[in-house]
C-alpha cells in the first residue's frame, strides 16, 4: 500500500448548475512533507464544516485504482472527448493511494505511515459539488452504487506525510467495511 500523491486545496467559487457555491473540492498535488494535525493537513481548507472536515473527517483518501472508471464515466456522459487522465486531487482527495479498496478497508482500521497514524472513520458521501466537478448530474449516484468513494480518516497520531511513502494497515474490529457502510445509501439510490 502506498501514498502516491498528497493534495490540498483552498476554498474558492464552484458553479453547481445555476448556483455558485464556495468549495475546496479542487485539490492540487504538492511535493515534500506535509504536517498533519487533528483537524487535517497543513494548507488544506474545507468550505462547509458541517459535511467535510472536523476530527472524524480530517483527511480524505481515494484509491487511484478508480480513476480509470471515472475517466470512462465522464467519456460516456460526453464530458471528456479524449482519453485524458484525471489529475491527482480531482475528486477532492487529500491522499491518492494504491493498494487499499473500499471492500478491504474497515471502519476502525488504522493506516500506519512512518510518522503518522490515521484511522478509517466512514465512506465519502458525495454531494452536488462532486456532480459539478465530474461534469454530469448522476456522478454522486454512480459513486455510491459503484462503491468507488474512498474514505475519511481521523488523525490518531499527528505527524507528517510525504508522497511516495508506504503504509501498513492495522485491522480494527473489522465489523463494517467501507463498502458495507455504503449499503444503505446504495439501496436508497436503487429504488
**Cα–Cα–Cα angle for 3, 117, 29, rounded to 5 degrees:** 30
pLDDT band at 1 (very low <50, low <70, confident <90, very high): very high
The CA distances from residue 2 to 53, 75, 91, 146, 169, in Å, are 23, 28, 18, 23, 11
pLDDT band at 17 (very low <50, low <70, confident <90, very high): confident
pLDDT at 80 (0 to 100):
73
CA proximity to 154, closest of 54, 64, 63, 7: 54
pLDDT at 121 (0 to 100):
98
Largest CA distance in the chain: 46
For residue 94, is it left (φ>0), alpha (ψ between -120 and 50) or beta?
alpha
Pick the CATH number of 2-190 from 2.40.33.20, 2.40.50.320, 3.30.470.20, 2.120.10.10: 2.40.33.20
Three-state secondary-structure class, residue 163: coil
pLDDT at 128 (0 to 100):
83
**Mean pLDDT computed over every residue of the chain:** 92
Domain boundaries, the chain: 2-190
pLDDT at 125 (0 to 100):
87
pTM > 0.75: yes or no: yes
Q: What's the pLDDT tens digit per position in 53-67?
A: 899 999 999 999 999
Confirm if 157 and 183 have CB atoms less than 8 A apart: no
Q: What's the pLDDT tens digit per position in 111-170?
A: 999 999 999 999 998 888 899 999 999 999 999 999 999 999 999 999 999 999 999 999
pLDDT at 49 (0 to 100):
83
Amino acid at each position: 500500500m502506498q501514498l502516491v500523491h498528497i493534495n490540498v486545496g483552498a476554498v474558492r467559487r464552484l458553479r453547481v448548475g445555476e448556483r455558485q457555491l464556495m468549495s475546496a473540492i479542487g485539490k492540487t498535488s504538492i511535493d515534500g512533507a506535509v504536517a498533519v494535525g487533528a483537524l487535517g493537513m497543513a494548507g488544506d481548507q474545507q468550505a462547509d464544516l458541517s459535511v467535510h472536515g472536523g476530527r472524524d473527517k480530517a483527511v480524505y483518501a481515494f484509491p487511484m485504482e478508480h480513476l480509470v472508471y471515472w475517466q470512462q464515466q465522464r467519456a460516456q456522459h460526453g464530458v471528456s472527448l479524449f482519453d485524458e487522465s484525471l489529475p491527482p486531487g480531482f475528486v477532492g482527495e487529500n491522499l491518492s493511494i494504491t493498494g487499499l479498496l473500499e471492500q478491504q478497508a474497515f471502519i476502525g482500521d488504522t493506516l500506519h505511515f512512518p510518522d503518522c497514524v490515521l484511522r478509517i472513520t466512514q465512506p465519502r458521501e458525495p454531494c452536488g459539488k462532486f456532480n459539478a466537478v465530474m461534469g454530469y448530474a448522476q456522478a454522486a449516484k454512480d459513486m455510491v452504487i459503484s462503491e468507488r468513494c474512498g474514505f475519511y480518516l481521523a488523525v490518531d497520531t499527528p505527524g507528517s506525510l510525504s508522497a511516495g511513502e508506504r503504509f501498513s494497515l492495522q485491522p480494527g474490529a473489522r465489523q463494517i467495511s467501507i463498502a458495507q457502510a455504503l449499503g444503505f445509501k446504495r439501496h436508497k439510490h436503487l429504488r
